[in-house]
Structure 1
Amino acid sequence: MNESQNIEYKQTWKDEYLKWVAGFANASGGKICIGFDDTGKAVGLSNARKLMEDIPNKIVNYLGIIADVNLLQKESKPYIEIIVSPSGVPISYKGVYHYRSGSTKQEIKGSALQQFLLKRLGKTWDDLPCENATLSDIDPDAISYFFKKAASCKRLTNHNGKEDLRTTLENLNLIIHGNKLKNAALLLFGMKPSKFFPSVSFKIGRFITSDDDLRYQDFVEGNILQMADKVMEILKTKYLVSPISYEGLQRIEKLEIPEMALRELIFNAIIHKDYTGAPIQLSVYNDKLILWNEGRLPDDFTIETLLGKHPSRPFNKNIADVFFKAGFIESWGRGIAKITNGFKNEGLNIPVFETTMGGIMVTIERPDNDKKSNIQNNVPDNVPDNVPDNVPDKRQISILQLMQANNRILLKELAEMLKVSTRTIRRDIDKLKQMNKLKRIGSEKGGYWEILEKNFIS
């Protein structure tokens, strides 16, 4: 039998193999067979009886655990079998932690070690106390915002938001050791969470032709409970298009990406982020959005697991609990299903999920620009083709509509959507400025459009 996740073969015993024993104990347990080559062929042991005395003592003395050590025979050749059970507490060898993964042993370091130790203790990173934080670091307005949301969804029945700050946080299980604020408390309700955790931000960037063609960007900071609202507002006003159409005389503006599904994706990124890593990043391109947050799936999850029916296993359980009480998420692991159904219901391709670069990346395909360019066809029919000099024509109204949907839209993008040259767009914009309908605020690269008269696009 070949080596596997639960079986390791060694020809002779060396004390360094205690690392393998610790690795099995820290994983799902396993078996070490001494007296076999790597292919599983018995080669025997000349000092088997002495090792039967030494190995159990060394396991106890160095690792603090007990393993079953048996002297057996195969093909008349003696060998030793060490059966290691999974440990409920972390096991180290000389201060170093090891873990059995697949058929190899790995040394656990850095943030992976921290997460491993917390998991074995039944805790998550947001459970830890923030040593230098006090109640003065908590924003009362964020607390009020939470209770307003919680009341509207009726998920808090025994809190009225009138308790003192300490009692409120204790009731939300956000105080530990009697008086220490948990990391989660500062992330959720802190006046300035970045004071304690530098990566608490959400980066949004607009790219055109390539990743080095960054045209403008935004950084959303502050508490994570209100972060999604801020991100959505910026996306709707600066980065995404809400094509305008008419049903009879009723004007319809609908975000190009299903809004509830997009909000759910943002919630997921915020809740399941590893806050010891890099900021959340959302890159907006002409044809797609790419959302990435540092973090990882639960140990026994794959992308396929995530896309199917699965239990809720939050990376940050305290944060997830507050988001649930605020009515932002469910507690049944239905978030991904809500996202995929949101795209399917709009006839759009579902986002692509993948694990990469130490995090989770979601690629969202933007609707065809041809659909967005149809906006000029939705101009009310009562706008004549030949209009007075001080009244915008159909194409100029389309320009104003697109600018209202995205006040940082580029001339090149307008030309592509309206299927005309950039020179034509520039000429139309000059006319709109002369008619006092439009104004440019700031530079061509970093500024935005301000519509001065909206009668023609309402």
Structure 2
Amino acid sequence: KIVVGVANSGEIIGVSQEIIQKAFESLEKAIYEASSPTIIPRIYTQRLGEKSLLIIEVSSGMTKPYFRKSEGLERGTYVRLGRSTLRATSDMIKELHWQSHGLDFETLPNYQAQKKDLDLKRIQVFLDNRKNHGKLKCDKSTLQAYHLIKEEHSKFYPTQMALLLFGKQPQYFLSEAMIICSHFQGTTGRDAIASIDCEGILFDQFNQCYSFIVSRLSKSFKIRKPIREEQLEIPEISIREALLNAIVHRNYHIKAPIKVAIYNDRIEIFSPGSFPGPLDLKNLKAGITYLRNPMICKIFREIGYIEKLGTGLIAIIESYEKRGLSDPKIIEGENYVKIILPRVLKKKNINREQKKLEELFALSSEISIEDVQRILGVSRQTASRKMNRFIEKGVVERIGKTRSTRYIIREHKEDV
């Protein structure tokens, strides 16, 4: 939905009747002729007091990807990431094709693999130990029901998710389906103290990576009656949920590993692939979730790694608030998602404006002056003046000049 007639500050300024009339006469036809497959928008007005807004609405279509005819499929397909509109990569275009046919990469057959490449004993252990489910036999019908095998031309092939979850050698078929964990000295990625490659099936990768992270963090002890309690410097549940989120929601079609970097002041978990749905902080806090790999999620839930879908990020946020640590951040970039778990206490006396800016940076690695205008409700000149103060304080850094100026928060300058 696009609403025309609202200033960057949020003020309703309205649209003249002349512009509205021209839009009704030509806009629908222009969109129809410029797009492929064709898009038929809904264009209407809405009165707010004495002012009129022009609203352009397009429903989510079933024949994705949609692209600009003048640029063609490969260069004319665009996606919305955070607050930016970016040209879709070839991986994104393929995923849109699969979505339009009701397919997910996880359930596609791997034609280089055979049924003998699956560890059927591990599958049977899973079937015997599912939570709140009766036991099942590891036979053809069960494997098909869980989308672990696909039959084509009277031959059975393991699916991508079958190899990831129960394959004997997953990296032989999906070489980058792994996690690289590194512990760095200081706050940049220059000097590595220790590192480990976590391979094998996804459950083993999770266990290896989780153990590595916990082993590199500081611990404190509390004596309660005769028992000594150990506590990590950051909530263990935040590590667990952030890592699980990266594993079950990543895009396995992208040939890149998950990366975990431990710095003196934070942990960063970098996951290939953008969010499968729109990123909105309110949606995340409300537990609204979009699944890229629904069957992988189902198996993780039935085996007990995940309790309820949509609660992981809520648990991270709440655990940090309870411990008084700096807010965790979730950043969506161009074909990646990064979760930042700070290792420092929350700064006191942060003013309202800086708090709002931090909420913006929690959703995007960089922001524009228009974003600042909108979130603070001020003019462009005032927004620029306020950002200059934050630059002087060392909170943010300016990139570019004039109208292409962008701002990044200093701790986001180094990526994994």
TM-score, length of structure 2 as denominator length: 0.63
Show structure 1 runs of 5+ residues with no match: 33-82, 369-458
1:88 match: 62
The superposition leaves residues 90-121 of structure 1 with CA deviations (integer Å, 9 ceiling, x where unpaired) of 4787983654668x998755101111101111
- Match 1:215 to one of 193, 201, 214: 193
Distance across 2 between alignment mates of 1:288 and 1:105: 29
| 1:172 aligns with one of 134, 146, 169 | 146
1:351 Cα deviation from its structure 2 partner: 1.2
Question: C-alpha root-mean-square deviation of aligned residues, in Å?
Answer: 3.7
Matched, 1:189 2:176: no
How many Å separate the matches in 2 of 1:7 and 1:346?
Answer: 58
Query: Residue in 2 aligned with 1:128?
Result: 108
Task: Tell me the residue number matched to 1:22.
Answer: 36
SS of corresponding position for 2:98: helix
Query: Whole-Å Cα distance in 1 between the matches of residues 247 and 37 of structure 2?
Result: 32
In structure 2, the residue matched to 1:334 is 311
Tell me if 1:250 matches 2:230: no
Matched position secondary structure for 2:219: coil
Equivalent residue number for residue 163 of structure 1 = 138
Cα deviations by residue, 1:373-413 (Å, 9 ceiling, x for unpaired) = xxxxxxxxxxxxxxxxxxxxxxxxxxxxxxxxxxxxxxxxx
Q: Which has the higher contact order (CA 8 A, sep 6+)?
A: 2
Contact 1:293 / 1:361 at 8 angstroms: preserved in 2?
yes
State the Cα deviation string for residues 18-71 of structure 1 (Å, max 9, x = none).
Answer: 87230653xxx4389xxxxxxxxxxxxxxxxxxxxxxxxxxxxxxxxxxxxxxx
Q: Which residue in 2 is equivalent to 1:446?
A: none
Alpha-carbon distance between aligned partners in 2 of 1:223 and 1:204, rounded to the nearest angstrom: 16
Counterpart position of 1:366: 343
Cα distance change, pair 132–281 in 1 and its aligned pair in 2 (3 A):
same
CA separation of 1:88 and 1:249: change in aligned 2, threshold 3 A: closer
Any stretches of 5+ residues in structure 2 without a counterpart?
Answer: 1-18, 44-56, 346-416
CA distance in 1, matches of 2:105, 2:291: 11
Separation in 2, partners of 1:293, 1:147: 29
Could you tell me how far apart the structure 1 residues matched to 2:109 and 2:23 are? 36
Q: Secondary structure at the match of 1:262?
A: helix
* Equivalent residues in 2 for 1:383-402, closer than 5 Å: none
Q: Is the 8 A contact 2:184 2:261 kept in 1?
A: yes
- 5 Å-filtered alignment, 1:21-420, equals 21-22=35-36, 24-25=38-39, 29-30=40-41, 88-90=62-64, 96=73, 98-99=76-77, 109-147=89-127, 149-150=129-130, 153-154=131-132, 156-157=133-134, 159-160=135-136, 162-164=137-139, 166-177=140-151, 179-209=156-186, 210-237=188-215, 239-277=216-254, 278-299=256-277, 301-367=278-344
**Number of residue-to-residue matches in the alignment:** 302
Q: Is the 8 A contact 2:198 2:205 kept in 1?
A: yes
CA contact (8 A) 2:273 2:335 kept: yes
Q: SS in structure 2 opposite 1:142? A: helix
Verify the 8 A CA contact 2:115 2:157 in the aligned structure 1.
Answer: no
SS in 2 for 1:314: coil
How far does residue 338 in structure 1 lie from its aligned partner after superposition? 1.9
Deviation, 1:215, is: 1.7
> Partner amino acid for 1:173?
H
Structure 1, residues 275-304: CA drift from partner, whole Å, max 9, x if none? 1332111110112111110122234x2231
Cα drift, residue 146 of structure 1: 2.7
Residue 175 of structure 1, CA deviation = 2.1
Deviation at 1:267, TM superposition (A): 0.7
Q: Distance in 1 between the 2:93 and 2:23 partners? A: 20
Does the CA-based 8 Å contact 1:23-1:105 persist in structure 2? no
One-letter code aligned to 2:343:
R
- Identical columns (%): 22
Distance in 1 between residues matched to 2:22 and 2:149, nearest whole Å: 44
> Which of structures 1 and 2 has the bigger CA Rg?
1
Matched with 1:70 is: none
- Structure 1 residues 187-196 or 334-343, which shifts more? 334-343
Distance 1:256 1:4 in 2: 60
Q: CA deviation at 1:264?
A: 1.2
Provide the secondary structure at the position in 2 that maps to 1:254: strand
Q: Is the 8 A contact 2:127 2:138 kept in 1?
A: no
Q: Contact 2:78–2:88 (CA<8 Å) still a contact in 1?
A: no
| Distance in 2 separating the partners of 1:106 and 1:85 | 20
**For residue 348 of structure 2, what is the aligned residue in structure 1?**
none
1:357 CA displacement: 4.2
Give me the whole-angstrom Cα distance separating, in 1, the residues matched to 2:181 and 2:142: 33
Q: Deviations over 1:197-217 (max 9, x none)?
A: 121111111111231111221
Output one character per residue of 1:431-458: Cα deviation in whole Å (capped at 9) or x when no partner: xxxxxxxxxxxxxxxxxxxxxxxxxxxx
